[in-house]
């Protein structure tokens, strides 16, 4: 057979090199990554905790640091929408969060798997029934940020928008006071 070289039957040296070299490289990549994963999981004294509960097919929010501030957030139907709204993305109750403040978001689900996602904030956290997942975030700029459930959770999965309004701390305090 012309495809077999009788002089090259095996070479333990080259096999050891191409096995050990990638293993050493992967080891040096993994050590800093594990440290960063640990640091990302630690949330240092958040100023505000937002509890988020996914339902079929809406979100419930609860500001745990304040008394009796909880509400549901439903998508605004197209026929009820104002002319300046975003179709399939606007909600009746937005969450309001302060900028330059450490925020802890605790996410769970009441019925099926959901995923609380706001791409422009770099946020995606799974909502699993019976489990609390947490994540820390810090919003740097004021604005309105849109997201959706990114888990296929049923027939109306695409109708679970998320709208987060980032405001200054003074505006947030005024908003919280008006709800109490």
Tens-digit pLDDT profile for residues 137-159:
999 999 999 999 888 877 777 77
Query: In the chain, what are the domain boundaries?
Result: 48-179
| Tokens found for residue 54 | 């996914």
The tokens 């505006």 sit on which residue?
Answer: 171
Question: For residue 138, what is the enclosing H or E element?
Answer: strand 133-138
Cα dist. 87→81, 84, 95 in Å? Answer: 8, 9, 18
In the prediction, which pLDDT does 114 show?
Answer: 93
Tens-digit pLDDT profile for residues 20-66:
999 999 999 999 888 888 877 776 788 899 999 999 889 999 998 88
Region of 142 (left: φ > 0; alpha: ψ -120 to 50; beta: rest) is beta
When the candidates are 3.30.720.110, 3.60.40.10, 1.20.1290.10, 2.60.40.420, the CATH number that belongs to 48-179 is 2.60.40.420
Please give the share of the chain, as a percent, with pLDDT higher than 70: 93
pLDDT surpassing 90 at residue 78: no
In the prediction, which pLDDT does 116 show?
Answer: 94
State the pTM of this model: 0.74
Q: Taking residues 58-86, report their average pLDDT.
A: 84
In the prediction, which pLDDT does 152 show?
Answer: 84
Confidence of residue 68 (pLDDT cuts 50, 70, 90): confident
Pairing of strands 70-73, 114-118: unpaired
Cα dist. 177→65, 79, 165 in Å? Answer: 13, 32, 16
Q: List the one residue out of 177, 180, 149, 146 whose CA is nearest residue 163.
A: 146
Confidence of residue 8 (pLDDT cuts 50, 70, 90): low
């Amino acid at each position: 057979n012309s495809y077999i070289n009788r002089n090259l039957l095996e070479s333990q040296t080259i096999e050891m090199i191409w096995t050990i070299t990638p293993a050493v490289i992967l080891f040096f990549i993994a050590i800093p990554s594990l440290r960063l994963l640990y640091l990302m999981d630690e949330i240092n004294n958040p100023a505000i905790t937002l509890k988020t509960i996914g339902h079929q097919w809406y979100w419930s929010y609860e500001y745990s640091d304040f008394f009796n501030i909880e509400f549901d957030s439903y998508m605004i139907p197209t026929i009820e929408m104002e002319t300046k709204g975003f179709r399939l993305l606007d909600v009746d109750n937005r969450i309001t969060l302060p900028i330059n403040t450490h925020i802890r978001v605790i996410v769970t689900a009441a019925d099926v798997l959901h995923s609380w996602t706001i791409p422009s904030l770099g946020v995606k956290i799974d909502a699993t029934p019976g489990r609390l997942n947490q994540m820390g975030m810090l919003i740097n700029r004021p604005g309105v940020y849109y997201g959706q459930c990114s888990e296929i959770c049923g027939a109306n999965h695409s109708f679970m928008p998320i709208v987060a309004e980032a405001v200054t701390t003074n505006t947030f305090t005024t908003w919280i006071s008006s709800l109490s």
